[in-house]
Amino acid sequence: QAYGKVEKINAELLTLTYGAMVNQLLQDYEDVDEVNKQLDKMGFNIGHRLIDEFLAKSGVRGRCEFQDTAEVISKVAFKMFLGVSAQVANWNSDKTEYSLILEDNPLADFVELPEKYNRLYFSNILAGVIRGALEMVQYSIECKFVRDVLRGDDKTEIRVIFKEKMEDVIPDDDD
Amino acid sequence: LLAESCIQLLNIEMVEAIKRSVVEARSAQTHHDKGSVEDEVYKRLENIGFQVGQRLIERYTRDRPLFNDTMECVKFLCKDYWVAVFRKSIKNLKYNNKRGVFVLEDDRFRWLLNYSDASSSTDHVDEMLAVPCGLIRGALAGLGVTTTVTGTVETIPACRFTVVLKDHQNTTR
């Protein structure tokens, strides 16, 4: 239902813009690892800002256990912002790591990667967004792509790894 | 369909990312490139918009009859295209026939909504319009109209796009 509360645009505008930008970065840096890093950085900043809208419109409370973030991100956040949902899979035994499996990835529509970019994680911005957003709710995590259909893998998989719970430094009733 | 804030936030970060890449490229060079960093950043962003605009207009006009004249193209741009891309129609369109200049005014440009509270400095706010300018120029180019487009922010989130027809002198002579 959170999906209904946000303003929508056609996916192709975002898809095409993102693709053109990644292409420009590849030309500029000529270094796939650096582009991966830049995409992650952009995502991190976006995540910092996106969390406000998410908490305001999703009805999800800021405080939840790390295990709950899996459901919230895959079912609510992905749906709300990208219009698709993800599957949660591959929990480790300590419940401190999980994977998000993307069946549908609007960022990667119409995209084919040439051979020379096979180390690129085209949608790496998503990993940054998740990391940035979770940091704002006091979870320090590591987030990375481990598989991507654009690289010939059978699925697209983002790994989310818990690092630490940060102390709340902002008082609750700041004005 | 997906959330509009995605593209708004992407635009903000795109400006920053392209800026970083240009600054880095410059620092690696021994000789100085001509032109300022700002101009280079703007050019690249506008070019991204241009490519996207060309492809979008192709999709949006696929099932329509051809436009008869430039005015029809611009009207389509201000209504249908603007709604599809920026989610509202243009507030005000002015046309100077003699000089071949269109001025498009948007009193509440949605791509600036997230920016106003996100950034304290308004010095470089015009570069937020680089991609939108490209989206306009690309769309018109896709319709066979060659233009230059510049954008200025009035008071956030109001802004104005000035579209100058390139071949105007030739066609009216």
Cα angle vertex A109, ends A108, A114, to 5°? 65
Taking alpha carbons only, the member of A109, A81, A103 closest to residue A12 is A109
Contacts with A5 from chain B: Cβ below 8 Å: none
A138: left (phi over 0), alpha (psi -120 to 50) or beta: left
pLDDT values of chain A reduced to their tens digit, one per residue, 175 residues: 666 778 888 899 999 999 999 999 999 998 999 999 999 999 999 999 999 999 998 888 767 889 999 999 999 999 999 999 999 999 999 999 999 999 999 999 889 898 889 899 999 999 999 999 999 999 999 999 999 999 989 999 999 999 998 876 666 665 5
Query: Which residues are bridge partners to A139 per DSSP?
Result: A165
Residue B49: C-alpha distances to residues B44, B54, B134 (Å):
9, 9, 4
The alpha-carbon gap from B155 to the nearest alpha carbon of chain A, in Å, equals: 22
pTM of the model: 0.90
The residue among A6, A24, A25 with the most chain B CBs within 10 A of its CB, best to mutate, is A24
Q: Residue B5 and residue A7: Cβ atoms within 8 Å?
A: yes
**Minimum CA–CA partner of B110 in chain A:** A7
Residue B34: C-alpha distances to residues A145, B39, B40, B43 (Å):
39, 10, 9, 13
For chain A, give the secondary structure using H, E and C: CHHHHCCEECHHHHHHHHHHHHHHHHHHHCCHHHHHHHHHHHHHHHHHHHHHHHHHHHCCCCCCCHHHHHHHHHHHHHHHHHCCCEEEECCCCCCCEEEEEECCCHHHCCCCCCHHHCCCCCCCHHHHHHHHHHHHCCEEEEEEEEECHHHCCCCEEEEEEEEEECCCCCCCCCC
